[in-house]
Amino acid sequence: MNKEFSKDNTNSWVAPLPFRSPRQRLPNNREQALNRLMPLRWTLVKKPEMKEHFVDFMKKIFSNGHAELAPALKKDQECWSEPVAVMSDIQQMFHSFLVREDHRDYLRSEVVEFRMKVHVFGNCPSRPSTD
């Protein structure tokens, strides 16, 4: 198996994010993520059933240990918090692969920052190249 893949002490697979090579430095998109959060909050206020599904989904993410409280970023540390919605049957397959710890800052979530510990289906690096 690829030398980038390994198993941790819980017997979970750990893999890096599939960045393209050469990988360019990503800008911090915190402001963009916050701007997207405001309309989502408004939608959830207007649609209580949608809010209930959203809250249940997020509780499941946390109770399964698929996200963790993100530590403060060090000065000039690179991260990316692009929002991703996961709604599919293969969700659990992606959540079976842990993200290497040094790549978790690319999977941060807002408002209280968390970062994903598992691979996220639909994340830009996981999409096929159109080149």
pLDDT in tens, 61-97: 889 888 888 888 888 887 767 544 444 444 555 666 7
Mean pLDDT of 42-51: 92
Q: What mean pLDDT value characterizes the chain?
A: 76
Q: Is the pLDDT of residue 8 over 50?
A: yes
pLDDT at position 35 is 85
Mean pLDDT of 102-117: 75
Q: Can you tell me which residue has the tokens 């970023």?
A: 73
What are the start-end ranges of the H helices in 1-131?
30-46, 48-63, 91-94
Q: Is the pLDDT of residue 43 over 70?
A: yes
- What residues have CB less than 8 Å from 72, skipping those under 6 apart? none
